[in-house]
Amino acid sequence: MQLLAFIHFLLPSSRQEYITNSKSSNEERIEALVSRRIELRRARDYTAADAILTELISMGVKIQDTSDGSTDWRILPKDPDPLPDILTAAKKIREHACLATTEKEYQDMLKETLDLVYTVLNSPNFQPSFHLPGRRAADTAFHLAMAGCEDEAIYNALADCVASELEKCPEKLSTLQAVERLAAANINTTHPVFDCPSPKCNTRDFFHPRAQLWRFRYSTSKQARERRQNQEYDDAEMTLRALLQKRRPLIIDLGAGMGASALGFAKSFPDYQVLALEPLASCVRQARAMARRLGLEENCVFLREEADHVLPIIQRLHFPCALILCQFPTPFVFHSSSDLESSSSSDDEQNKDPTTLIIRGGNTTRFLLSEKVLDLVPSLLNYPFHFQDGTTAQNGALYFSSNVEDVAVAILNLLNTNPHLSPLILDSYVEKESLSSPQPKSPNRRRIPLREQRWTELAPPDKRARGRPWLSSSPFPKNTATETEAMLLVNHQPVHRLLFSSSS
């Protein structure tokens, strides 16, 4: 009987009926998912639509979105040799850049990762819309850039993948975000991917605030945390002696972070030598790679060092110095978020002053711009710096900025105690609003830290960052903004700025 049943199955009519029934069942499920995805896209629920797209791809379905809003699909033959996921590989090398204890360890893994990416991108089975759909190609490029990759061929190939996605759906949110991520990864602005017809797609430059916003989000994420033990600092004196031979006046960036501002200064002021100091090795590695890709490595040097160690060497070598930057230093004032509550509930007369409530008795020894550093600043500044409005600081200038108002006020108090520093007032940038940066008409309090909200409620008017000498905007070109300042400007949050010149 089993033999007769098998012979019956081999008959053309019976076999075709079996195949048709099983095929229709699979196709009905695919059609239902595709229809549901189209509805979600029309409702602009792109997150749910992308989840369905991921499910369809896992089922081996190739999706093609058309310009009229419809979707074509077909079932791809199963790949007997699936390609590795290069986005996962890019994330791993980015994480390794933060955790590596030696440069050789990092370089070996980077080479291994780039070899894998090359293999996948050059594979005859590679299909961008299948292996790197949506934003995945841009995410891969971004993570490689954060890891310090300098291979422009890989970046261009990944940008090609994004360009093919952009042609299919130029208005899709994830596609527009992909273009911003490519700009943050410093993809060449002449690449066709930046010729997007959508008016929303206007981010193509590395220094654009939307591009820097992505870099800020990464820099403040858990992914960017670095293990700092077993890592040696650079030889600061050897580097500085080499720079001294170039005979260019210095612009010193204290705590350069990921380096966007230092690179912007190097591009805007090519006659100066930018020296960016940053203690985190992963930030320095990424910034150096970006400087080379931008062609700014000659006049923008990143040094893995602490400011209080490097500045005395600069002083001893009698370096010409025109500008010192201290932008958005980490406000190490509280030990914990509960300190404000415990201080505000105290009956101590001293703690009734809101300034001492938040500054913890005025203790600023843990600031990046500490008393020790400030004592060196007047002797370092000894060369003219020319601002955009035509003003010249004859003996150089010190620029400070922060989005934390109590920290900014504490720094102003520190600067006022130094007899060799005096406020530099630029009429074009003098604060004219109620705060040192324009406020949105309806500020979203959820975006303002509790610390800042409490300061606003408790501090008396004379302890606020208002009027002179506060600046309403930056006195430098737009492309010199830090990643943090770009985020604040995009979200319409205040920035408190000070400019002091040396009178010694």
Model confidence pLDDT, tens digit, residues 221-235: 766 665 554 467 888
Do 432 and 387 have their domain in common?
yes
Do 195 and 240 have their domain in common?
no
Q: Is residue 100 a part of any domain in this protein?
A: yes
Average pLDDT over residues 435-464: 62
- pLDDT at residue number 12: 43
Q: Is residue 498 a part of any domain in this protein?
A: yes
Q: Is residue 16 a part of any domain in this protein?
A: no
- pLDDT at residue number 361: 34
pLDDT tier, 407 (very low <50, low <70, confident <90, very high otherwise): confident
- pLDDT at residue number 232: 73
Q: Is residue 8 a part of any domain in this protein?
A: no
Do 30 and 126 have their domain in common?
no
Average pLDDT taken over every residue of the chain: 79
Q: Any idea what the CATH number is for the domain that residue 350 is in?
A: 3.40.50.150
Cα(177)–Cα(346) distance, integer angstroms: 48
pLDDT tier, 81 (very low <50, low <70, confident <90, very high otherwise): low
pLDDT tier, 269 (very low <50, low <70, confident <90, very high otherwise): very high
Q: What is the pLDDT of residues 99-146, one digit of tens each?
A: 777 788 888 999 999 999 999 999 888 888 778 887 899 999 999 999
Long-range contacts of the stretch 64-68 (C-beta < 8 A, 24+): 64/129, 64/168, 65/168, 65/169, 66/168, 67/168
Q: Which residues contact 478 (CB under 8 A, 6 or more apart)?
A: 207
Q: Is residue 2 a part of any domain in this protein?
A: no
Decide which of 193, 224, 255 is a domain's last residue: 224
Q: Which tokens in the block code for residue 297?
A: 């490595």
Q: Is residue 11 a part of any domain in this protein?
A: no
pLDDT tier, 6 (very low <50, low <70, confident <90, very high otherwise): very low
Decide which of 78, 106, 140 is a domain's last residue: 78
Judge whether residue 340 has pLDDT over 60: no
Calculate the alpha carbon distances from 336 to 38, 350, 359 in Å. Answer: 48, 20, 13
pLDDT tier, 409 (very low <50, low <70, confident <90, very high otherwise): confident
| Percentage above 70 pLDDT, the chain | 78
- pLDDT at residue number 290: 96
Cα(355)–Cα(370) distance, integer angstroms: 18
pLDDT tier, 50 (very low <50, low <70, confident <90, very high otherwise): confident
Do 364 and 449 have their domain in common?
yes
pTM for the whole thing? 0.76
Neighbouring CB atoms inside 10 A of 48's CB total 14
Backbone angles phi and psi of 301, in degrees to 5: -110, 130
Do 481 and 338 have their domain in common?
yes
- In DSSP notation, 40-106 reads HHHTT-HHHHHHHHHHHHHTTEEEEE-TTS-EEEEEPPPPSSPPP-HHHHHHHHHHHHHH-SSHHHH
- pLDDT at residue number 141: 95
Do 424 and 294 have their domain in common?
yes
Do 218 and 273 have their domain in common?
no
Judge whether residue 17 has pLDDT over 50: no
- pLDDT at residue number 181: 93
Q: Which tokens in the block code for residue 396?
A: 């150089």
Chain centre distance of CA 306? 22
- pLDDT at residue number 439: 46
Do 297 and 217 have their domain in common?
no
Q: Is residue 334 a part of any domain in this protein?
A: yes
Judge whether residue 14 has pLDDT over 80: no
**Do residues 457 and 185 make contact, with C-beta atoms less than 8 angstroms apart?**
no
Do 61 and 141 have their domain in common?
no
Do 381 and 248 have their domain in common?
yes
Do 208 and 245 have their domain in common?
no
Judge whether residue 297 has pLDDT over 90: yes
Decide which of 191, 224, 257 is a domain's last residue: 224
pLDDT tier, 24 (very low <50, low <70, confident <90, very high otherwise): low
Residues linked to residue 393 through DSSP beta bridges, in sequence order: 385
| Percentage above 90 pLDDT, the chain | 31
- Specify the number of domains making up the chain: 3
Residue linked to tokens 């605030």: 209
- pLDDT at residue number 186: 94
Judge whether residue 80 has pLDDT over 50: no
Range in 22-31, 51-60, 180-189, 216-225 the model is least confident about: 22-31
Do 40 and 186 have their domain in common?
no
Q: Is residue 230 a part of any domain in this protein?
A: no
Cα(58)–Cα(350) distance, integer angstroms: 64
Q: Which of 12-21, 234-243, 255-264, 337-346 has the highest mean pLDDT?
A: 255-264
Q: What is the pLDDT of residues 147-206, one digit of tens each?
A: 999 999 999 999 998 888 887 776 676 778 888 999 999 998 888 888 876 666 778 889
Cα(360)–Cα(343) distance, integer angstroms: 8
Range in 11-15, 373-377, 398-402, 441-445 the model is least confident about: 11-15
Q: What is the pLDDT of residues 304-337, one digit of tens each?
A: 988 888 999 999 999 999 999 999 886 544 333 3
**Do residues 154 and 89 make contact, with C-beta atoms less than 8 angstroms apart?**
no
Query: What domain range includes position 59?
Result: 24-78
